[in-house]
Amino acid sequence: MEIPIPVIETATSLFLRYGLKSVSMDDIAEGAGISKKTLYQAVPSKEALIDHIVDIHICSETGTIDCIRDQSVDALEEMRGIAAMVTETLRSMSPALLYDMRKYYRPIWEKIDTLHRGHIRTVIVNNLERGMAEGLYRPDIQTDIIARLYVVQAMALIDDDVFPVSAFEPETLMRAFVHYHLHGILTPAGRQKLEITPL
């Protein structure tokens, strides 16, 4: 499916700002400066457009995480970089976006959930193993268990029933979560390094 870049950019911007339900194909066509007919020639439905944008996001996110991992000097810096990326993503989203996706576009939401349960879990396992090898994380960590706990807890951060957006600022929430995670796995050397360069 070859969707014009202005359509993708306009739709992404509107979805991030207003959520999925309240943005119509008319809004997207008007924002992209094209007719509704031209829009439907490029993409068959709003759901197909959302699905395509999510695919782009997943590809971008996995690429960014790989880049963070490659450029980090150690496991602690890697975890700091991943946390910053997630915080920036959460900051850019309307609370309505995640709610709408879970309620109205369940198959697309499950694609994101699969990413977190698969790719992100693998990233965390690799980070734990790296930190253990570097002496920053405790040597007795059961990596698969901790990685699964990390993924489940991370998904809870974007559950409005657990952490209402009206009461919890995303950046503060993410920082608290990463501190909680790290203080359960750091060695004294890792804790000392965290104190020198805090999150």
pLDDT in tens, 69-85: 999 999 999 999 988 88
The CATH number of the domain holding residue 65 is: 1.10.357.10
Check whether 198 has a pLDDT greater than 80. Answer: no
Quick check: is 22 in a domain?
no
pTM for this predicted structure: 0.83
Residue with tokens 């194909």: 25
Check whether 172 has a pLDDT greater than 90. Answer: no
Check whether 1 has a pLDDT greater than 70. Answer: no
* The total number of structural domains that make up the chain: 1
Q: What is the share, in percent, of the chain residues with pLDDT greater than 70?
A: 99
Quick check: is 15 in a domain?
no
Provide the pLDDT for residue 89. Answer: 79
Q: Kindly state the average pLDDT of the residues 167-180.
A: 89
Quick check: is 136 in a domain?
yes
Provide the pLDDT for residue 8. Answer: 95
Average pLDDT of the chain? 91
Q: Which domain holds residue 103?
A: 54-196
Quick check: is 165 in a domain?
yes
